[in-house]
Structure 1
Amino acid sequence: MQRNLVPPTATPSTLSVDSSENYSTSTVSSATFRGLGSLSGKALRNFGKLTLKGIEQVIIFRRLSTIAARFPHHAGAKFPGLTEMYMDLLELSRPELYSEFIRIRALQMLVAQIGSRSGKKLVEVLSNWPVVELCLIVRDVTSRMDPIRPLYLQDPVVLEYQKHISKGEGHSLAPLIDFLSMLNSSRSQAFPEILSAGVHDLLLHLYVSDFRDPMATANKRAFIRTSGLFAACSSYLLEACSDHSSYEHLERYPIHGLWSLSPMLSFGKMETDRCSQRRETWRLVGLRGIQWRISSAFDMLMDWERSFTSDFLFDLLIDLVEFSGSAMLPNEICFRALRSLHCLAIQDEVVGWGLRMYFDQTPLDHAQDVFSLIIQRVTSVLLLDTPVAAPFYQFCCPDGCHLRQNAAVHLIHRLTSSARRSTILHQVLIRADIEGLLNSATKFVESLDGEPWQRWLLFGMDATDHADAVYRAEVLSFAWRVFFQHPYSREVFPSLRLQAWVDELSEQIEREDAYLWII
């Protein structure tokens, strides 16, 4: 039962109890209790009904006041009673035994040590703590620091942690990850229990949010923070998986199937089983994790200064293709995934080589189902007033938006370029009704540009005033020729035209808005 305690107005240094109350006389020092269960167990036993009358709260607040005078402190600090102070704070932070006020205050003093990278003594004390109690404190702290948690910066424990982070810290959560690494080193035999006690969820949620720093203001070079924390988390996993039994335990968790490939960590192979591994793993992750993955993908791809490894891009392509062509996910999620896939397609050639690898690793019937739905959704994108496609155009300006005019054309361009080099993709797109998409695109382009698309081919790229119209005509000609040898098509190989759309979107978008739809 939780004890609802109110801070006393005055706290004496010692408490004497008159025996006339039919209780034994005792003198209680503020430092008489020690360690696990001492307050919840020994105090109740020693003071009996006096505890129920408020004596224990006087002891607790007196003790908290004494401890607060010494916290936070440097990692090398030494003074009498330090170990006992940590033991008492850990005791007072236990869930459901003390009031929220007491628990929060105890947790604040503990996380201040973690945030300031002065958690060595805390690790030392926890190294002797029972595993069950250790997992309780780890779960409490990691759940509060979860970057995708709603109202993250309204938690008083998180705010106290934030106050003690060095200004030169690369990422606000780096001290926490390093603390967990130290803890794992001291309690390596308890790795399975610690991983299950919220650490896996923390790592998974860091991954799906692209390791974004929830305490940092948005800036164009935020990816530096991202890469630094990714390296710290990878080091944690590498150390944690140093023995065979720990690695086998980690294999049971989604993070094993999703974590970006690294020479340090053998969590999969891009050339063989990556598609099936990720497809199966995402089925274990809830909708909210998928929403964060889609939104963080859009956010990172809008960072035009950022570069990516081929392994990273291939993982991203697999996920966005699967989400965009899913028959199980809600339509809103699929169209937002398609928007992120469009951003990936226009920025990198991964769609070419990546799709060839995707088909090499994916059963043909599954790939056919996925691309049939993608073609249907791209067709819906052409119908600008279709409510189902509204999430795709979230960041468009009301009139004359280049994204509205060219997004479907961009996707047709990339798919056609890939199909020209892949017989399998060519056949899949034919069966997925690429012809219906091209017919819809033809009507859309002609209504937009006011001329049959073949007429614009006569102008060529010299028509600078109508460069977008010429580009759209060239893409249609290219696609009709590759898929159906259309009699009016010409042998053209259009260059992707992006600048107007990129400039416009960069002005319109507030990247943080990409996350507002997640509940």
Structure 2
Amino acid sequence: MQRNSAQSQAATTLSVDSFFSGNATVSSASTFRGLGSLTGKAILNVGKMTVKGIEQIIISRRLSVMAKYFPHRAGDKVPGLTEMYTDLLELSRPELYPESIRVRALQMLLAQIASRSIEKLVEVLSDWPVVELRLVIRDVTSRIDPIRQVNIQDPIVLEYQRNLANGESHSLAPFVDFLSALNSSNSQAFSEILSAGVEELLVHLYISDFRDQIASSGYNKTAFSQRSILAFACDQLLLEACSDPSSYEQLEHCPIHGLWSLSPMLPFGKMEVDRCSQRREWWGTLGLREIQWRISSAFDVLVDWGRSLTEVFSFDLLIDLLEFSGSTELPDPTSFRALRSLHRFFIRSGDRAVRGLRMYLDQTPLDHAQDVFSCIIQRLLLLSLQDPAADSFYKFCCPQSTVACHLRGKAALHLIQRFSQSAQSNDTLYQVLIQADIAGLLSSASTAVEYPDGTTQQDWSSYALLWEKQPPVPSEELNYINEASGDLLTKVIFSSNRISNPATYRTEVLSLAWKLFFRPDPKADILFPSLHHEAWGSIELEPSDRDHVYLWIK
């Protein structure tokens, strides 16, 4: 009986082998139709699941034949196409076949997805066991996830990239559209695979600001036009997923719900309602690597003057950068880089930053806000003292040497100016900054002030000297009548909005900040220079030069 069985198996093997050297049709070539049919023959007496040498040859030949038809277009007439997809999915199952076989199978599947002709693949997957689908999706998403350090030399990723259309806007757009098609075909199965790497992929795409890690050129990685296409595709996927109760319930309990950019078409909350607490909560569930990516992608966005920033996007960015800059739990180098991105945010945002700070304080418990700003003020103190602990602040723009950075000795002043400007119209921020010891920061920043006439004042021990010993400030006073009260008011207006002399800028900012916080005059309206010191925004990075912004992330 055993002999007859062995003869039968040998005959099967020979007939299959003869097919690969003969002229049989492709559809007759498969000896392993369906889930597990091949692996059932691959259990050896030692109890380990593997594929015998002769079967590896059969499979390899089968893959070679199928490779001629992948990728194919939707209208192509391919005999036995359903069986081909079934075989490829079977061979892509992890830990059941040699890696070389799995790689070839996944290469063909990913090439087909890249080509966007996915109707037949989606049809076959709709009948595929969900547990197996989860394994394949998790494997693929782990290879293309931008935050997991995409290996562009991965043969599967290379094959996917090679089969993208020349005009493809973003490398991952075809894959996200494939997920949308999968959801449309079988929403129940899609709700099952959300937790198999799809949720994480979407969160990481958002955190990286949809950076294209597969693209070969720096421009395609960073250009907003490319990123926005993928962001829209992800929005569409989430919109479709939210229409299914099971999928929406899963999304409610993952970081997407609290971090994803708000949109009228997505049910993820409102900007003016608990946005700060939502983001704090969900960032607390993520790791340091994700936070570092968010800080870096924020800087990447903010040095791109061609990128328009919406109110919603800006507010989310401000929340995150304040929380990271004022964190007591993050490593100091990470928080100082967040502070650098916050500095850049103030360059780009203007009055929007003032409104954002007000909303942040309105939505944040006062004790937490006090902790955040106290920590920020302490880090600004180290920055003003040029303490080596603050050197990470400069490394986004000066990765090789921070000593000659154009912001050294000036950045703390810039942030003092911005916070002071905002505090003029925000009583809560005003009190928070006083409690955070902004007086100590002003005192430190005033050390070794060089006046426009060339004289210096070292180690001012009395804060009062900061105001009383200052040189004349180039400004004019304009008297006007308050229409509501009839009082005579004084508005201090600077004669120049762009200050080229660093000493003049330092003196003006410190003296007015001191007057604002410690010599308040209810009848004076202080107007800080609106365009700041020239060193504020002098950094410009070309898209191809921005890869180094991410290299510090381990």
User: Normalising by the residue count of structure 2, what TM-score does the alignment of the two structures yield?
Assistant: 0.84
- For residues 496 and 211 of structure 2, the distance between their equivalents in structure 1, rounded to whole angstroms, comes to 44
Match for residue 346 of structure 2?
Answer: 345
Counterpart of 2:181, as a letter, is M
Deviation at 1:218, TM superposition (A): 1.9
Unpaired segments of 5 or more residues in structure 2? 17-28, 458-465, 476-493
Q: Structure 1's 507 and 250: CA in aligned 2 closer, same or farther, altered over 3 A?
A: closer
Q: Structure 1's 235 and 498: CA in aligned 2 closer, same or farther, altered over 3 A?
A: farther
The answer to whether the 8 Å contact 1:127/1:187 transfers is yes
- For residues 463 and 320 of structure 1, the distance between their equivalents in structure 2, rounded to whole angstroms, comes to 27
The answer to whether the 8 Å contact 1:478/1:494 transfers is no
- For residues 462 and 274 of structure 1, the distance between their equivalents in structure 2, rounded to whole angstroms, comes to 38
Match for residue 410 of structure 2?
Answer: 406
Deviation at 1:43, TM superposition (A): 5.8
- Of 435, 445, 456, 1:451 maps to 456
Write the deviation string for residues 80-132 of structure 1: whole angstroms up to 9, x where unpaired: 21110111111111100111111101000000000111121111100000110
Deviation at 1:233, TM superposition (A): 0.1
Match for residue 309 of structure 1?
Answer: 310
Write the deviation string for residues 383-413 of structure 1: whole angstroms up to 9, x where unpaired: 22x2211110113466654311321111001
Q: Structure 1's 450 and 153: CA in aligned 2 closer, same or farther, altered over 3 A?
A: farther
Match for residue 251 of structure 2?
Answer: 250
What is the SS of the residue equivalent to 1:26? helix
- Of 490, 498, 503, 1:469 maps to 503
Q: Structure 1's 445 and 304: CA in aligned 2 closer, same or farther, altered over 3 A?
A: farther
Write the deviation string for residues 189-242 of structure 1: whole angstroms up to 9, x where unpaired: 123311001000100110110001112322397011111111100000000111
Q: Structure 1's 445 and 311: CA in aligned 2 closer, same or farther, altered over 3 A?
A: farther
- Count how many residue pairs are aligned between Structure 1 and Structure 2: 497
Deviation at 1:142, TM superposition (A): 1.1
Deviation at 1:331, TM superposition (A): 0.9
Match for residue 371 of structure 1?
Answer: 373
- Of 510, 515, 523, 1:481 maps to 515
- For residues 203 and 25 of structure 1, the distance between their equivalents in structure 2, rounded to whole angstroms, comes to 49
- For residues 20 and 368 of structure 1, the distance between their equivalents in structure 2, rounded to whole angstroms, comes to 79
Write the deviation string for residues 406-450 of structure 1: whole angstroms up to 9, x where unpaired: 211110011001111111111110000000000011115449975
Counterpart of 2:439, as a letter, is E
The answer to whether the 8 Å contact 2:130/2:189 transfers is yes
- Of 425, 428, 431, 2:432 maps to 428
Q: Does 1:200 align with 2:199?
A: yes
Deviation at 1:68, TM superposition (A): 1.0
- For residues 432 and 322 of structure 1, the distance between their equivalents in structure 2, rounded to whole angstroms, comes to 15
What is the SS of the residue equivalent to 2:538? helix
The answer to whether the 8 Å contact 1:108/1:160 transfers is yes
The answer to whether the 8 Å contact 2:107/2:160 transfers is yes
Q: Structure 1's 53 and 329: CA in aligned 2 closer, same or farther, altered over 3 A?
A: closer
Q: Does 1:503 align with 2:504?
A: no
Write the deviation string for residues 169-191 of structure 1: whole angstroms up to 9, x where unpaired: 11110000000000011110123
Counterpart of 1:517, as a letter, is W
Counterpart of 2:420, as a letter, is T
- For residues 52 and 96 of structure 1, the distance between their equivalents in structure 2, rounded to whole angstroms, comes to 11
Deviation at 1:147, TM superposition (A): 1.1
- For residues 11 and 498 of structure 2, the distance between their equivalents in structure 1, rounded to whole angstroms, comes to 94
The root-mean-square deviation of aligned C-alpha atoms, in Å, is 2.8
Q: Structure 1's 110 and 498: CA in aligned 2 closer, same or farther, altered over 3 A?
A: farther
Q: Which moved more, 1:303-312 or 1:439-448?
A: 439-448
Q: Structure 1's 259 and 458: CA in aligned 2 closer, same or farther, altered over 3 A?
A: closer
Provide the identity percentage. 61
- For residues 466 and 240 of structure 1, the distance between their equivalents in structure 2, rounded to whole angstroms, comes to 54
The answer to whether the 8 Å contact 1:481/1:490 transfers is no
The answer to whether the 8 Å contact 1:127/1:183 transfers is yes
The answer to whether the 8 Å contact 2:498/2:534 transfers is no
Q: Structure 1's 401 and 68: CA in aligned 2 closer, same or farther, altered over 3 A?
A: closer
Q: Does 1:515 align with 2:550?
A: yes
Deviation at 1:503, TM superposition (A): 3.0
Q: Which moved more, 1:458-467 or 1:145-154?
A: 458-467
Match for residue 19 of structure 2?
Answer: none
Structure 1 residues 234-249: aligned runs within 5 Å: 234-249=235-250
Structure 1 residues 70-469: aligned runs within 5 Å: 70-216=69-215, 217-219=217-219, 222-348=223-349, 349-384=351-386, 386-394=387-395, 395-396=397-398, 401-446=405-450, 450-452=455-457, 454-455=470-471, 457=473, 467-469=501-503
Which of the two has greater helix per residue?
Answer: 1
What is the SS of the residue equivalent to 2:270? coil
Q: Which moved more, 1:114-123 or 1:242-251?
A: 242-251
Deviation at 1:42, TM superposition (A): 4.4
Deviation at 1:464, TM superposition (A): 9.0
- For residues 327 and 299 of structure 1, the distance between their equivalents in structure 2, rounded to whole angstroms, comes to 25
What is the SS of the residue equivalent to 1:108? helix
Q: Which moved more, 1:205-214 or 1:140-149?
A: 140-149
- For residues 177 and 6 of structure 2, the distance between their equivalents in structure 1, rounded to whole angstroms, comes to 53
- For residues 165 and 60 of structure 1, the distance between their equivalents in structure 2, rounded to whole angstroms, comes to 27
Q: Structure 1's 117 and 450: CA in aligned 2 closer, same or farther, altered over 3 A?
A: farther
Q: Structure 1's 20 and 276: CA in aligned 2 closer, same or farther, altered over 3 A?
A: closer
- For residues 132 and 324 of structure 2, the distance between their equivalents in structure 1, rounded to whole angstroms, comes to 40
Unpaired segments of 5 or more residues in structure 1? 1-17
- For residues 321 and 515 of structure 1, the distance between their equivalents in structure 2, rounded to whole angstroms, comes to 20
User: Normalising by the residue count of structure 1, what TM-score does the alignment of the two structures yield?
Assistant: 0.89
Counterpart of 2:11, as a letter, is S
Q: Structure 1's 498 and 366: CA in aligned 2 closer, same or farther, altered over 3 A?
A: same
Counterpart of 1:497, as a letter, is H
The answer to whether the 8 Å contact 2:321/2:341 transfers is yes
Match for residue 12 of structure 1?
Answer: none
Match for residue 8 of structure 1?
Answer: none
Write the deviation string for residues 26-61 of structure 1: whole angstroms up to 9, x where unpaired: 13324222011121114659xx99x97522112111
What is the SS of the residue equivalent to 2:219? coil
What is the SS of the residue equivalent to 2:510? helix
Q: Structure 1's 268 and 68: CA in aligned 2 closer, same or farther, altered over 3 A?
A: same
Counterpart of 1:431, as a letter, is Q
Deviation at 1:24, TM superposition (A): 5.7
Match for residue 11 of structure 2?
Answer: 26
Q: Structure 1's 22 and 345: CA in aligned 2 closer, same or farther, altered over 3 A?
A: same
Deviation at 1:499, TM superposition (A): 4.1
Deviation at 1:497, TM superposition (A): 2.2
Write the deviation string for residues 451-482 of structure 1: whole angstroms up to 9, x where unpaired: 35722625975799953322222111221111
